[in-house]
Structure 1
């Protein structure tokens, strides 16, 4: 390592290169240091005491600090590699703890507190900037110092101590928030506490460890907390605690459903749409019999009952979710109208799971960031064949998908060339991201990619579509980011559009507005409007011959689905509402969030989907780039036209070599061996002759620090294997029951 000033210290010493807080990927090498990284910019690193001494930068710690294998790494370096007077970076770490309450509030007026009993994890969780799973994390006590580790003399034995936490307010104490302060060298420090995370530190932040239950505390109380560590993991416990409620230790429960409950705006929009649908059906059929397809925590089923449904069947394949739905239904006093069925949606039968005459209302929230990843199309088609009446209403009724081309590439971090790491970004599956937190550059205007109709009245295009994306900034396009507008009915729309790409007025659910009247009103088929002001029945917002505004819907108005003979979008098309709003964001956009957008309402929990392309193409303003959109059962697949661009580098385990198994890529072979082991495990599951897989995974997770394994990744594998075991013990399930739909990680878990 070189002796460099603080202004040149690489941020990768204290953060992940793939998501640096500073500098942005295209920043100049002379950019000033981020204020969170250093308290004294000019005196961060001093020369070592002897010219022959070494500087030993240590691996980047994660939220759990010790679980990244920090202490064993330090011990190995100091005992075998470093000189006697080596300078260790970071020099020390101080761990702080704080008692917090993590709770689910009322969701659209519903009591969903039963979900709090599922707040448990086999290891710590990364809180992230928005709080664990998007929920409210409320501090109850003052921070206390738990440990101080001098990394020049790291600990070698297990240690334990009792800390007295002083509570500053009443609440239900069910978790411990912990973070660490790193002293890099001299006055240079890095904090991963709540204040640093709120100020913009992205890849590091506080960790959360749940207790075995919730403890009622009052202002002025003092409770002891037992803090222990074994050099590879920290743990916090309350001995002999009087728990007001105990947590259900179920590794199969999907944490993503806690994030879904935190999206109150979504449930309020669903409630309004369900109220309108129930009123229409009551006037038409006299009764409303609803099906909540994939009920999860049961919120939509309860809302359907409260807005007037005569009966509701809430169905879910996953047993822990069905159990939670039963509890929330009872807590909201609608058990007389809502029945919970533990079954695959595609296996429902009339007369057994639903009434013999079927249902006339279906509500579903089976969407991932890319709309189709949870199998919503297949499951709704099967429900329509098996249990839905002709003319049944579906909420949502339709969805529209939009996309933009971006450059997702990291050239440097802290002034160092790290471009070789970009090959590890490629993946053949879409990635769930929050675009405002992701380093990128917008290269094209948004365009409509596809339409889907869930009510069965119309069908979207089933063939491949060729899009012409208009380039607005120079760069290398290697990824497509896409999102959707979810049309609950002809009045209400939800959108997971990234802030700053679409106008805020159209990115959330909106109410219809009627055309204005006046003496100087333009012709009846057009009304000018510089911005999108809400959906208007019978009107289309766009840009055409008369300018930008609302056009009365007519067959002569072109749409983005029209194509010319060459397969490209017609140049005389009228813009789609969301596309026209997006065109205002034509300039290149960095990854930093728009200050005005950050002050708006919280974004929906979905985030956005990003697909890395197989080929990268150089683009420049004033030109267009053709993208093929291919519809697949559970995703949209984006690709450049054949022969365009240069093939991107891929991770070693994603490269396919030719020939037989003996000469195949060894990295791919290792993955295949793991798949064979999982298949062998599943073949023995139904016999129930072997202990649960959870017993083995619990042991591996306890020693992840010694094994230098990533705790978050291992915890996700733990969850997936337990869920896979449960699914394969279910008597019947359809191809629509996918592991990804149940175990998809929550975006806000950090």
Structure 2
């Protein structure tokens, strides 16, 4: 057998992301010379393309965003009858359909995503009976390879350029993300202005006004315990997308103006400049650096810049991606809620109320970047998934677990047990371990598979004075034992534990392997009379209609084919009540008694009836659980209660079926030891008569998913088996996440891929 081509240093290596990497330009050709980089680039691009239609669905449910675009488009076309329109980012198809309804003589629409292009075509076909879609021309070539008057050069990658019939009078785009410029909107606008728009053309929106405020988004005391070390993992290679009305934060400054991007001036300059590149450059000024003085309204510590924007669609219509007053009146009606807000994390800085803070703003073609004085320099080696922050800040979860742990320890004391040892599986930040020690446990062993979270847990226990009682083992608990290893290695635990505390549940209860962890613990790590916290769970299921019908009077039912995924997904139903309604009462489907773990591990199937109480289209099942921590203490993740932020509900999508009030919908619930799933009992329905005409999924998308999954298996196998392969992949991921636009990538998918490797 050949020896491995890597050594221990390769195995211990961690990727590093420096803040200054966002300013260091990448050479695309040089990056893609490496065959591995080329494969990774293609893989991430393919993933982004496959995810794009599903990520576009919230736009179709954003009434404010669509309504204001509709108003501005109608007003523009009334003032300029017979206009030829250029739509950039055809996406869902909504903008070109609104323009067609507004009376545009011709609409040329571009969409660089293959899957979004299909989505737009389907939207056009679905609305042929409502308006004249023949005026819409969906172009299946990249925008930069098309022109009207000023030719563009041929490309070895894309072939010969395409000449369009005529120049356009109006440009409409919503190629904006939470980063503002992360979808490379300025590149698209500049090319359109140089090669497709006629002089005097107008653009919607005309201007983009960027706003920001300084905020404190740190974690401090949680349940009376200091978890501030977790803040060192609160960073992002770009601006993180958040919905801040769902998050806990403290405002350090008032909102302030960051910059204004004048798209109309940009278009005017480029459509009238001819070949005078120097004059164009002086107007566009591709990189702008400005120093702002921001006053701190209160004393404290800030660690983030919260950014949002206002689109000036016309002189009467402004569309914002956030309104700071929403925190006060708890409404989302006044802004485009589908964008989210951008957060750039900064090294923690203490300020006094009234103090002036110098903040440098760098705005170039692709990003708006904030720098402090002195500049940020802390390197980052790991990224912690954001659900960790939501989880530790869930006071309901924390207090409920603490009550149950106290009860369990007191019960052991009452039975004469001394000492009391606790095993905390999935210890994470060490919070439940410290809660157990504070509740009276003599010794606590935490098992945590993530090395990064072990670092957090160990330091948190030291900072809170529990280092003598708490130990965290960086190991999968399924490989732990109380016996000395054959090679003489000391056991992972000195003796078996009296209490098992574990919080390793996903939205679907058992998807993170909770049953396997409890099963191994009972066999190897627990006393025979050990107490389990939690002790049991019940899963409930409910059929739903969760689909898009009409959008601004247009038919978008075909967009629902892009919802489906083979597995369930987490969703906070209580936060999107306008997007769904129940078709029947909820039903209990599975009871898990964790003391009978052998029974829980067996595959189980249950057929149950859902009596339809409201006519509609069945296309989803929501399921959630009650977690019984002990006989008296319960956590409920129902969308109808007052649950905390830790868990969402699990949603599984199906092919659409029409149902009528009074019908019996027969469903089959299944579970193995790793997950819960549902099926429709097809023997009880006539699908041909119940279909809506919307397929379960797009067939072309499904085929490409299968091909990408095969590539994913090969890549992950290489990464898992060889640390040097992981190293090369991680370096490429960090480069892509830091400067995606240099590699012709959008910001979000590249940053997401980077954080996957950093976690």
Residue from 459, 472, 485 that aligns with 2:613: 472
8 Å Cα contact 1:67-1:233 kept in structure 2: yes
SS at the partner of 1:203? coil
Question: Would the alpha carbon gap of residues 276 and 232 (structure 1) be closer, same or farther in structure 2, given more than 3 Å must change?
Answer: same
Q: Which whole-Å CA distance do the structure 1 matches of 2:650 and 2:198 have between them?
A: 48
Following superposition of structure 1 onto structure 2, how do residues 479-518 of structure 1 map, counting pairs within 5 Å?
A: 479-499=620-640, 504=641
What's the counterpart of residue 380 of structure 1?
A: 518
Spell out, residue by residue over 1:430-461, the C-alpha distance to the aligned partner (whole angstroms, 9 max, x if none): 11111133411211111001111223378357
Spell out, residue by residue over 1:337-366, the C-alpha distance to the aligned partner (whole angstroms, 9 max, x if none): 101111111011105454443101010110
RMSD: 2.7
Following superposition of structure 1 onto structure 2, how do residues 632-647 of structure 1 map, counting pairs within 5 Å?
A: 632-643=672-683, 644=685, 645=687, 646=691
SS at the partner of 1:349? coil
SS at the partner of 2:529? strand
SS at the partner of 2:596? coil
Question: Would the alpha carbon gap of residues 16 and 223 (structure 1) be closer, same or farther in structure 2, given more than 3 Å must change?
Answer: same
What's the counterpart of residue 308 of structure 2?
A: 179
Return the offset for 1:254: 2.4
What TM-score does the superposition give when structure 1 sets the normalisation length? 0.73
Residue from 524, 532, 539 that aligns with 1:401: 539
Question: Would the alpha carbon gap of residues 172 and 37 (structure 1) be closer, same or farther in structure 2, given more than 3 Å must change?
Answer: farther
What TM-score does the superposition give when structure 2 sets the normalisation length? 0.72
Spell out, residue by residue over 1:607-652, the C-alpha distance to the aligned partner (whole angstroms, 9 max, x if none): 1110012x33221112221110011222111010134435833134
Question: Would the alpha carbon gap of residues 710 and 382 (structure 1) be closer, same or farther in structure 2, given more than 3 Å must change?
Answer: farther
Q: Which whole-Å CA distance do the structure 1 matches of 2:176 and 2:725 have between them?
A: 40
SS at the partner of 2:264? coil
8 Å Cα contact 1:411-1:419 kept in structure 2: yes
What's the counterpart of residue 256 of structure 1?
A: 387
Spell out, residue by residue over 1:549-601, the C-alpha distance to the aligned partner (whole angstroms, 9 max, x if none): xxxxxxxxxxxxxxxxxxxxxxxxxxxxxxxxxxxxxxxxxxxxxxxxxxxxx
More deviation, 668-677/326-335: 668-677
Return the offset for 1:485: 0.6
Question: Would the alpha carbon gap of residues 453 and 202 (structure 1) be closer, same or farther in structure 2, given more than 3 Å must change?
Answer: farther
SS at the partner of 2:757? helix
- Unaligned 5+ residue runs, structure 2? 1-51, 85-168, 267-283, 484-489
Instruction: Work out whether 1:192 is the aligned partner of 2:233.
Output: no
Q: Which whole-Å CA distance do the structure 2 matches of 1:610 and 1:287 have between them?
A: 44
Spell out, residue by residue over 1:649-701, the C-alpha distance to the aligned partner (whole angstroms, 9 max, x if none): 3134653xxxxxxxxx456324423442343343332xx48745332112212
Question: Would the alpha carbon gap of residues 298 and 70 (structure 1) be closer, same or farther in structure 2, given more than 3 Å must change?
Answer: same
Q: Which whole-Å CA distance do the structure 2 matches of 1:229 and 1:39 have between them?
A: 29
Instruction: Work out whether 1:118 is the aligned partner of 2:233.
Output: yes
Q: Which whole-Å CA distance do the structure 1 matches of 2:632 and 2:726 have between them?
A: 54
8 Å Cα contact 2:61-2:551 kept in structure 1: no
Residue from 499, 505, 513 that aligns with 1:361: 499
Residue from 467, 470, 478 that aligns with 1:346: 478
What's the counterpart of residue 184 of structure 2?
A: 69
Instruction: Work out whether 1:279 is the aligned partner of 2:319.
Output: no
SS at the partner of 2:714? helix
8 Å Cα contact 2:68-2:319 kept in structure 1: yes
Return the offset for 1:396: 0.6
Return the offset for 1:300: 0.2
What's the counterpart of residue 364 of structure 2?
A: 230
Question: Would the alpha carbon gap of residues 374 and 363 (structure 1) be closer, same or farther in structure 2, given more than 3 Å must change?
Answer: same
Return the offset for 1:107: 1.7
Q: Which whole-Å CA distance do the structure 2 matches of 1:677 and 1:398 have between them?
A: 38
Q: Which whole-Å CA distance do the structure 2 matches of 1:153 and 1:634 have between them?
A: 57
Residue from 261, 286, 290 that aligns with 1:149: 261
Q: Which whole-Å CA distance do the structure 2 matches of 1:19 and 1:272 have between them?
A: 42
Question: Would the alpha carbon gap of residues 77 and 707 (structure 1) be closer, same or farther in structure 2, given more than 3 Å must change?
Answer: farther
What's the counterpart of residue 352 of structure 2?
A: 218
8 Å Cα contact 2:235-2:383 kept in structure 1: no
Q: Which whole-Å CA distance do the structure 1 matches of 2:747 and 2:672 have between them?
A: 33
Q: How many residues of Structure 1 are paired with residues of Structure 2 in the alignment?
A: 582
Return the offset for 1:35: 11
Spell out, residue by residue over 1:214-268, the C-alpha distance to the aligned partner (whole angstroms, 9 max, x if none): 1110011111111112211221110316x9xx96623342222111111011100
Q: Which whole-Å CA distance do the structure 2 matches of 1:448 and 1:43 have between them?
A: 50
What's the counterpart of residue 585 of structure 2?
A: 445
Residue from 644, 652, 658 that aligns with 1:611: 652
Question: Would the alpha carbon gap of residues 250 and 363 (structure 1) be closer, same or farther in structure 2, given more than 3 Å must change?
Answer: same
Q: Which whole-Å CA distance do the structure 1 matches of 2:668 and 2:182 have between them?
A: 44
Return the offset for 1:151: 1.4
Return the offset for 1:195: 2.7
8 Å Cα contact 1:175-1:210 kept in structure 2: yes
Spell out, residue by residue over 1:514-567, the C-alpha distance to the aligned partner (whole angstroms, 9 max, x if none): xxxxxxxxxxxxxxxxxxxxxxxxxxxxxxxxxxxxxxxxxxxxxxxxxxxxxx
Question: Would the alpha carbon gap of residues 158 and 181 (structure 1) be closer, same or farther in structure 2, given more than 3 Å must change?
Answer: same
8 Å Cα contact 2:536-2:592 kept in structure 1: yes
What's the counterpart of residue 31 of structure 2?
A: none
The structure with the greater share of residues assigned to helix is 2
- Unaligned 5+ residue runs, structure 1? 1-11, 24-32, 509-602, 656-664, 724-750
8 Å Cα contact 1:232-1:703 kept in structure 2: no
8 Å Cα contact 1:104-1:113 kept in structure 2: yes
